[in-house]
Amino acid sequence: MKVVIVNCFDTYEDRVLLLQSYFLKRGHTVRVVTSDYRHFRKSYRTDRPEGFIFIHAKRYKKNLSVKRLISHEGFAKDAVSKVRKLRPDLLWVLAPPNSIIKSSVSYSRSNPDMRLVVDVIDMWPETMPVGRLKFTPPFQIWKALRDRYIDKADLVVTECELYKKVLSGRCDRAKLKTLYLAKRVSEPESEYIKDMDSARETMQTEDADCVSGKQAPPSDRWELCYLGSMNNIIDTECIGDIIRALPKRPKKTLIHLIGDGEKKAELTRTCTEAGGQVVFHGKIYDAVEKRKIFDTCHYGLNIMKNSVFVGLTMKSLDYFSGGLPIINNIEGDTYYFVEKRNIGINFRREKGLSEEELSKYMEMRRCVRTLFKEKFTVECFEKRLDEILKPLTGG
């Protein structure tokens, strides 16, 4: 079977590589049609992974701009033109941009033997922090590019149950399937977690500064981690409230920042004014280096503005793979996992934080690792793909 995967954003490439690997393992021919423009870096890429075909996209600098819309529209048109030449048996399209849904549906109508899968990774304009502008005609027309055409796909995959629930009003429910994000974890499970599990019967965590040479989260202060882009969708005020709500300990609260972005200065200032001490690590891509920081922290911060419509974040997946519980304010799937699987704390300003619930971080670490192994490994991803593709491929 010839498979073509279409993706506009390098930020979704982890998922693309998982899909590519899945199909290759099963003996299929796979080509990935993707943009040569990096969304976050706002620059063109020169690296070309094996099996990738680049579509030259127009440059844009602002995330909310006419130039960006023109760039996406041009990509959708050129990508489908390339698909037409490749003549796939299965076309897997990642959305957004919403324009790629309309273009791929148009192509599938003239190729009825081909199977079309639309993979909804984000929902535009719902997830954009633009307030009531989402309900103005330009944004509603943009949204309609998805809603009017998505039911024409043979299968609609969503990255979380929250998106699936919303799209059930726009699409035949039988077509809707959730395929969670997944993460490759090549490094061994944190020695700290394993050592603490074996030692918990004979020692108190509060009295241990380290275990087998691995630094344990300290007992005389709180250490939190924020991982990811420091942009306009994170709720910096909420992070400040969390720091203020922490029960006082003798030493300062440390906030480890991993990443960068236009809101770095604002986030740093908010943390400092709330009584925290910021440790800025910059961008770290190496999983082992991130794990070392996670091992010194009590919780990871999974905090976004309440206007952002998202059920599961990539940062939470990083936390989970590292065995780090979260303090969360995101609704949908993440809220459910926190409530039902004991992997952290759902923060509400009116509720605050108590020493009693915060002190359960070691128990939560074990629960986080269990959840990750059950839901978010590559093996889970591939098993789920087997299930959802069986009706299409007969495999």
Element (H, E) at 20: helix 13-25
The residues that bridge with 211 in the sheet, in sequence order, are 214
List the pLDDT tens digit at each of the 395 positions of the chain.
999 999 999 989 999 999 999 999 999 999 999 999 998 788 999 899 999 999 999 999 887 788 888 999 999 999 999 999 999 999 999 999 999 999 999 999 999 999 999 999 998 887 776 777 777 777 788 788 899 999 999 999 999 999 999 999 899 999 999 999 998 875 544 444 444 444 333 333 333 333 323 557 898 999 999 999 998 889 999 999 999 999 988 888 999 999 999 999 999 999 999 999 999 999 998 989 999 999 999 999 999 998 888 999 989 999 999 999 999 999 999 999 999 999 999 999 999 999 999 999 999 999 999 999 999 999 999 999 999 999 887 75
Residues 205 and 167 in one domain: no
> Within this chain, do residues 368 and 384 fall inside the same structural domain, yes or no?
no
Claim to verify: residue 252 and residue 386 sit in the same structural domain: no
Both 53 and 148 in one domain: the answer is: yes
Residues 290, 347 within the same domain: yes
Q: How far is CA 9 from CA 3, 13, 322, 379, in A?
A: 19, 7, 25, 24
Number of structural domains in the chain: 2
State the number of CA atoms in the 13 A half-sphere of 54 facing the CB.
Answer: 14
**Could you tell me the CATH number of the domain that includes residue 263?**
3.40.50.2000
Q: CB–CB of 328/357 below 8 Å?
A: no
Q: Are 190 and 321 in contact (CB under 8 A)?
A: no
**CA distances, 37 to each of 55, 75, 236, 242, 245 (Å):** 9, 10, 29, 37, 42
Sign of the four-CA dihedral 178, 181, 187, 188 = negative
Task: Check whether residue 196 and residue 317 sit in a common domain.
Answer: yes
Same-domain status, 145 and 45: yes
One-letter amino acid identity for 231? N
215 and 160 inside one domain: no
Q: Are residues 70 and 103 located together in one domain of the fold?
A: yes
Full residue range of the structural domain in which residue 361 is found:
191-375
Are 167 and 246 part of one and the same domain? no
Does 245 lie in the same domain as 145? no
Residue 309 sits in the same domain as residue 173: no
Entry pTM: 0.88
